[in-house]
Amino acid sequence: MGKIQTERLLLEPFVNVDFEAFSALRSDPTVMLHMVGGPTTGQEAQELFDAYLAAWQSQGLGMWAVRDRENLDYVGECGFWNREGEVGLTIRYLLHKKYWGRGLAGEAVNAAVRHGLERADIRHLSALALRDNTRSCSILERLGMNVVEENHQGVEGFRRYVLPLNE
């Protein structure tokens, strides 16, 4: 599946040198405010990062490191994840707070989903977002995703979205 370029971003599979930036992003309490489970420890980040790397090897699809196309700075992550207990793939994304409010999350999500639908056999695509994270909910709704559950996994306000796909 490889790299994706948008007007402002470059999405490419993670490589080992991305770990430090990845870990810093996932340990930031402000960035992780709307993520169930909150900030990750160094060990948790390492386990997740290793799983991201392994997904590309085993499935040929996974999470991309999102970079600024101009300077290649690490912006965040976006891509597809086999979330335990979910049917099919889940789209997930997370950006460093200095990149918020610029439309970059929507740009990354749109590019990833379009790329995945064109090049992979995705039969079911879902996403999860806390209701209070209105920006994230808006991104998913603009993508055409529908709320199918309001309190997913018993978490108040934890919405489960599904993208209607023709089978």
Q: How far apart are CA 138 and CA 105, in angstroms?
A: 11
Report residue 116 as tokens: 């995945």
Q: How far apart are CA 79 and CA 63, in angstroms?
A: 4
Predicted confidence (pLDDT) per residue in 12-30, tens digit:
999 999 999 999 999 999 9
Task: Please give the domain boundaries of the chain with CATH numbers for all domains.
Answer: 4-123 (3.40.630.30)
Q: Which residues contact 131 (CB under 8 A, 6 or more apart)?
A: 137, 150, 157, 158, 159
Model confidence, pTM: 0.91
Instruction: Provide the pLDDT for residue 152.
Output: 84
Asked if residue 61 lies in contact with residue 1, where contact means CB atoms within 8 angstroms, the answer is yes
Residue 67: strand, helix, or coil: strand
Mean pLDDT for the stretch of residues 58-69: 92
Kindly calculate the radius of gyration of the chain based on its CA atoms and give it in whole angstroms: 15
Instruction: Answer yes or no: is pLDDT of 85 > 80.
Output: no
Instruction: Provide the pLDDT for residue 36.
Output: 76
Predicted confidence (pLDDT) per residue in 92-132, tens digit:
999 999 999 999 999 999 999 999 888 777 888 999 999 99
Instruction: Provide the pLDDT for residue 70.
Output: 95
Instruction: Provide the pLDDT for residue 42.
Output: 86
Instruction: Answer yes or no: is pLDDT of 1 > 60.
Output: no
